[in-house]
Amino acid sequence: MSKYVKNLISDEIKSRLEKVADAIIVDVIGMDSEKTFQIRKLFREKGINMLVVKRSLAFRATEESSLEPLFATKQGSVAVVWGCEDFVSLAKEIAAVIKSKEFEDFELKGGVMDGEALTAEKVLEISKWPNRQEQISLLVGQILGPGSQLSGQLLGAGSTLAGQIKKLVEDKEGEA
């Protein structure tokens, strides 16, 4: 392949991965076309992108970016997977594909999160973390918890006192 063609391909890869900060790298070599189509369709439905690239060309395209560690040590062709709301959600989707055993030749190789290279084991560990939605719900629960508890305590004692006052008023009215 001529240098001109390599530069064109590198520029195309660079433009596609330009705004990608976190990604996972997988191996789809050995999958037949039907399985590849199915996995791409599954990813597309979930808003996940997958791009099969030659490692050396992708390394040239991602130099001085947060994705550079992703291609530094890998050899041959690899598939870059990115998308979802956050990296944890992406890791959960990849872990689900691996656990399903439907795609036996689909192999997790690693990833990069916040510019840090991750092993396949670390990506699977991250898939067990709460994703963005779960973290927000936990945070809201923690914020609202003390307030609702205080409100319940104030209203509980207040309603008891109000009930006693009402009973006293009714008793006084009954005597009159």
The tens digit of pLDDT for each residue in 56-100 reads: 888 888 888 888 888 877 677 888 999 888 899 999 999 999 998
- In the predicted model, is pLDDT for residue 157 greater than 90? no
Q: Which residue type sits at 98? A: I
pLDDT of residue 74: 62
- In the predicted model, is pLDDT for residue 176 greater than 70? no
- Please state, in angstroms and rounded to a whole number, the distance separating the CA atoms of residues 152 and 77: 60
The tens digit of pLDDT for each residue in 105-156 reads: 888 888 999 888 888 899 999 888 888 888 888 888 888 877 777 777 777 7
Task: Say whether domain 3-129 belongs to CATH 3.30.70.1730.
Answer: yes
Q: Is 10 exposed, middle or buried (0-12, 13-18, 19+ CB in 10 A)?
A: buried
Tokens for 75, please give them. 């050899």
Of 162 and 66, more confident: 66
